[in-house]
Chains A and B, each alone.
Chain A
Amino acid sequence: DVKVTQSSRYLVKRTGEKVFLECVQDMDHENMFWYRQDPGLGLRLIYFSYDVKMKEKGDIPEGYSVSREKKERFSLILESASTNQTSMYLCASSTPTGILNYTFGSGTRLTVV
């Protein structure tokens, strides 16, 4: 069964900490995405990557960065966590013509205190 795996289901971090959210896919997909999900706002795209070491900003990149050193792994980094970054974070992956196989992970619920 193909999978997108997010390493943590729940995380609690302190304001100002550097936070890493990890995502791994086993489908050899080229594209990977990070979204945040907030009530009433749906999913908003933070960053995406269409190849190793490549990244593009989404709609809300401020306060975030990403890293893609290997094809299967896409990391979201909060350089200095703030309380307004408390949210559900969803990772997804797809092939380049990926409308038919856009696969999501189960999400990481991050609380910044």
Chain B
Amino acid sequence: AQSVTQLDSQVPVFEEAPVELRCNYSSSVSVYLFWYVQYPNQGLQLLLKYLSGSTLVKGINGFEAEFNKSQTSFHLRKPSVHISDTAEYFCAVSRGINNNDMRFGAGTRLTVKP
């Protein structure tokens, strides 16, 4: 089965600084990759996804992620963060279209400080 490792449990950063949230996955087959965001007291929202094609994926709110097959990574980046980006971020992987197969990482709490 596939698995997901988010390398940082907490990432504090100042407003307008760049940020990278790291995600590595393990799977013996091709995968689909996702980043979700969870704001306080809310469910998860999809930020972006990689299904195929270009390895650089752009999502909502200025986030982007790069799929690196050789390093089995899918790191999330934003060049300049805002206070409103404070949230928990989850990386997820699925082997197929039927996403009962989706597995989530442990999450990274991003805290943006003024």
Contact = CB atoms under 8 A, between A and B. Distances in A.
A binds B: yes
Interface of A: 4, 9, 31, 33, 35, 39-45, 48, 50, 56, 58, 90, 92, 94, 96-100, 102-107
B5 to A, nearest CB: 10
A37 to B, nearest CB: 8
Categorize the interface residue count of chain B: 20 to 34
A33 B94 CA distance: 15
Contacts of B71: none
A41 B43 contact: no
B32 A42 contact: no
A96 B100 CA distance: 9
Given A90-B43, A99-B51, A106-B42, A42 B97 contact: no
Contacts of A106: 41-43
Contacts of A97: 97-98
A50 B34 CA distance: 21
B67 interface: no
Nearest to B107: A42
Interface in B1-26: 4, 6, 9
B100 A31 contact: yes
A56 B100 contact: yes
A50 B43 contact: no
27 contacts: A4-B43, A9-B41, A33-B100, A35-B104, A40-B9, A41-B106, A42-B6, A42-B104, A42-B105, A43-B90, A43-B104, A45-B100, A48-B100, A50-B100, A90-B43, A90-B44, A92-B43, A92-B44, A94-B99, A97-B97, A98-B99, A99-B94, A100-B49, A102-B46, A102-B102, A105-B43, A107-B41
